């Protein structure tokens, strides 16, 4: 049996950085990863997909050149092998950076293999047994494949496998109208594929307010994406030219099917029962406000704990654990103000409560909206789709939440994210003097238009 001061299972966005901090304290750490360092973000999520989004935007801008007085003769062609290779290069650079970093770190032992608990202080991997007083789980999540008629009879794609495509689908059917599915839908439409989105719920991006969901649908439809919502029945079958997707609303003749109906935690094969670690009905590891499980000496970070499904929330889990365990701090998950983005084009930046949540809270609220068509930067760039929206508490004057669907919305939202984290009231933020011409310069104007509801 090999002894360490800490064992980290999973090499995503929390585990490796926590392992490095522990090593900095002079301790010995075993970092166990069953496949690739970097987790979903580096290998099958943010980095490769946003690289693909950038290629798709380049194609879209090239096709739109005439509007700006830039004439490109001939058809804009897409070389999917180059597109794929570029995304793979970005992934490999990041992954190899982590490998090199850990290789030069005294006290760090990286083990590739599948770890399982033997008891609360012991794990086995590759036939070896390791023990440590502290064990951190950062095992991530994977795509969910729903039990739909015929799904096992077709060669479907997931968000992991689709990034390896080096040919262009004739017609991509996307099952699931949430964030992952919508990003791939617009991306492949811009590459030149026909695209259909099939969503069970009544709206796309169902966690958003209806006006945001409707605006997202308008953006995608304007680019020729076929959208079906409120679909209750879906079945798949092979045909001579690909795959038939039959729903209660339509029959779609697709060449490829992307299943994007959510993700589930990678907790079902860790031997958690042997350690006594409790999970909820969805398989997420139950943790307290400081990310500790019900078993002393075991913590769960990142997607597997159900407290955020984003790279930045996973990294923040690392920050919380490191601050509490290594720096004598007392940071809590409940103090986190959730922010995220949807990377369609234009992107959606979101923070805090939706309007629906704010109304349900019983607060007296104020709301302001502003179309992007009334933003100078958007007009100058010829990108006026979407709108800005902010919700505030009428009594405390604190900002409760905001949504910016529009050009640079994923960046502009950080002005509000920072204000909310600092506890700044909206009247104080109105007095800032932002740079012109930017999208951010409209935040004080947006706040000045807040009206009670």
Exposure b/e, 325-345, CB count within 10 A at least 16 = b: beeeeebebeebebbbbbbbb
Q: Looking at 114, 228, 307, 436, which residue is catalytic?
A: 436
Three-class DSSP labels, the chain: CEECCEEEECCCCCHHHHHHHHHHCCCCEEEEECCCCCHHHHHCCHHHHHHHHHHHHHHHHHHCHHHHCCCCCCCCCCCHHHHHHHHHHHHHHHHHHHHHHHHCCCCEEEEECCCEEEECCEEEECCEEEECCEEEECCCEEECCCCCCCHHHCCCECCCCHHHCCCCCCEEEEECCCHHHHHHHHHHHHHCCEEEEECCCCCCCCCCCHHHHHHHHHHHHHCCCEEECCCCCEEEEEECCEEEEEECCCEEEECEEEECCCEEECCCCCCHHHHCCCECCCCCECCCCCCECCCCCEEECHHHHCCCCCHHHHHHHHHHHHHHHHCCCCCCHHHCCCEEEECCCCCEEEEECCHHHHHHCCCCEEEEEEEHHHCHHHHHHCCCCCEEEEEEECCCCEEEEEEEECCCHHHHHHHHHHHHHHCCEHHHHHCCCCCCCCCCCHHHHHHHCCEEC
436 flagged as catalytic: yes
Dihedral over alpha carbons 414, 420, 425, 426 (to 10 degrees): 40
Distance, in Å, from the CA atom of 195 to the CA atom of 173, rounded to the nearest integer, reads 6
CA dihedral 404, 405, 411, 412 (to 10 degrees): -40
CA-wise closest residue to 319 among 332, 337, 305, 309: 332
**Angle, helices 311-326/15-24, rounded to nearest 10 degrees:** 20
Contact (Cβ atoms closer than 8 angstroms) between residue 403 and residue 376: no
Beta strand 251-254 with 242-247: parallel, antiparallel or unpaired? antiparallel
**Active-site residues: which are they?**
436
């Amino acid at each position: 049996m090999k002894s360490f001061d800490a064992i980290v299972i999973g090499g995503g966005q929390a585990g490796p950085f926590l392992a490095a901090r522990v090593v900095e304290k002079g301790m010995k750490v075993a970092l166990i990863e069953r496949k690739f360092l970097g987790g979903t973000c580096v290998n099958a999520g943010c980095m490769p997909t946003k690289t693909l989004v950038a290629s798709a935007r380049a194609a879209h801008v090239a096709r739109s050149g005439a509007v700006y007085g830039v004439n490109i003769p001939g058809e804009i062609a897409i070389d999917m092998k180059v597109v794929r290779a570029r995304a793979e290069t970005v992934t490999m650079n990041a992954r190899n950076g982590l490998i090199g970093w850990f290789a030069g770190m005294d006290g760090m032992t990286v083990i590739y293999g599948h770890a399982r608990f033997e008891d609360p202080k012991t794990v086995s991997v590759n036939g070896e047994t390791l023990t440590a007083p502290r064990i951190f789980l950062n095992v991530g999540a994977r795509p969910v494949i729903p039990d739909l008629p015929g799904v096992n009879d077709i060669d479907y794609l997931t968000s992991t496998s689709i990034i390896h495509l080096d040919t262009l689908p004739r017609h991509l059917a996307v099952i699931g109208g949430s964030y992952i599915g919508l990003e791939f839908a617009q991306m492949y439409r811009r590459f030149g594929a026909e695209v259909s989105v099939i969503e069970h719920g009544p709206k796309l991006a169902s966690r958003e307010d209806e006006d945001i969901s409707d605006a997202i649908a308008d953006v995608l439809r304007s680019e020729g994406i076929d959208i079906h919502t409120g679909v209750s029945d879906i079945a798949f079958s092979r045909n001579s030219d690909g795959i038939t997707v039959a729903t209660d609303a339509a029959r779609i003749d697709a060449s490829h099917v992307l299943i994007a109906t959510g993700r589930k935690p990678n907790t079902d094969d860790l031997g958690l029962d042997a350690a006594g670690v409790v999970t909820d009905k969805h398989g997420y590891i139950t943790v307290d406000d400081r990310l500790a499980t019900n078993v002393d000496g075991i913590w769960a970070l990142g997607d597997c704990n159900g407290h955020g499904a984003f790279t930045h929330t996973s990294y923040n889990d690392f920050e919380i654990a490191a601050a509490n365990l290594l720096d004598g701090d007392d940071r809590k998950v409940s103090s986190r103000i959730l922010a995220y983005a949807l990377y369609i084009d234009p992107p959606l930046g979101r923070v805090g409560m939706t309007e629906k949540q704010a109304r349900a809270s019983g607060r007296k609220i104020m709301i302001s909206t502003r179309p992007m068509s009334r933003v100078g930067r958007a007009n100058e760039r010829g990108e006026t789709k979407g709108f800005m929206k902010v919700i505030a508490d009428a009594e405390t004057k604190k900002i409760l939440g905001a949504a910016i669907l529009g050009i640079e919305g994923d960046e502009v939202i950080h002005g509000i994210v920072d204000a909310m984290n600092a506890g700044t009231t909206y009247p104080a933020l109105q007095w800032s003097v932002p740079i012109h011409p930017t999208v951010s310069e409209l935040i004080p104007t947006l706040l000045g238009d807040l009206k009670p509801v």
